Amino acid sequence: MIKKVLFVLLFLGCSSLKSDYSNIKVLEVIDGDTVRLENQRLLRYIGIDTPEIRIRNGNNFIYKPQPFAEEAKEFNRKLVEGKTVRVEFDVEKIDKYGRLLGYVFVKEKFVNAKLLEEGYAVLFTNPPNLRYVELFKKLQKEAQDNKRGLWGAYEVIDSNMAYLYINQIRTVKGKVLNSYKTDKCIFLNFGKDYKKDFTIVIFKDNFKYFYERNIDPKNFYKGKTVQITGKIIDYNGPEIVARTPEDIEVINN
């Protein structure tokens, strides 16, 4: 009996993976960057991130929308809910949570790109899924310059104020005072106390994306004023993870 149940579960899992993702309906919009498809699979949009509607509280999630989270969800809902979409995959098709990873199109409308273009999402590089990273970078810059969506609501914050915005998406600006390399990552430090001050973290698996651009991530950014957009997390002080050079913008002083 147990073997039969396991076989059924395996069959259902495999069959859902074999769905025709070139022509599939969106049943439900979860938030600005996640939807549920008609085969019950969750799909996370590649290359973008939107403010969270729910936050983790122990083993549970509670409703606590961040600024502009509801607006992003509503914009996404108008784009895709109840509509038939085409999903395009990149190198990785599934993330560590079991969600599908994809680029979504409604006819010729590129949903991931539209969310960035209108300022409802920010660039979230996700190596090795980088097919449209140059397009996404361009669209985000245009949205920033025109203060569309969240860019009109959010101000760039100084690195010494980053601790006030833990678990929120923000653009942080400051001068990289020094850097430190370990076996696992590189730390770009914005203050003298690395345990309290803002830091950009680049993990070892992503070094290659910097080297491909002839950038030594340990030394290139030292002494430069930069800004980075992403979710600020608290780990020995506020930090944002950079995955590619596109995440870090050098500001002309």
Instruction: Report the catalytic residues.
Output: 44, 52, 99
Q: Say which amino acid occupies 119.
A: G
CB 186 within 8 A of CB 211: no
In angstroms, what CA-CA distances link 10 with 4, 6, 37?
10, 6, 19
Q: How far apart are CA 17 and CA 197, in angstroms?
A: 44
Closest alpha carbon to 238 in 163, 157, 158? 163
What DSSP state is assigned to residue 129? B
* DSSP assignment string, 21-41: TTSEEEEEEEETTEEEETTS-
Strands 225-231 and 199-203: unpaired
Report which of 162, 103, 173 is spatially closest to residue 131, judged by C-alpha positions: 103
CA-to-CA distance for 66 and 115, rounded, in angstroms? 17
Q: Token pair for residue 242?
A: 């950079």
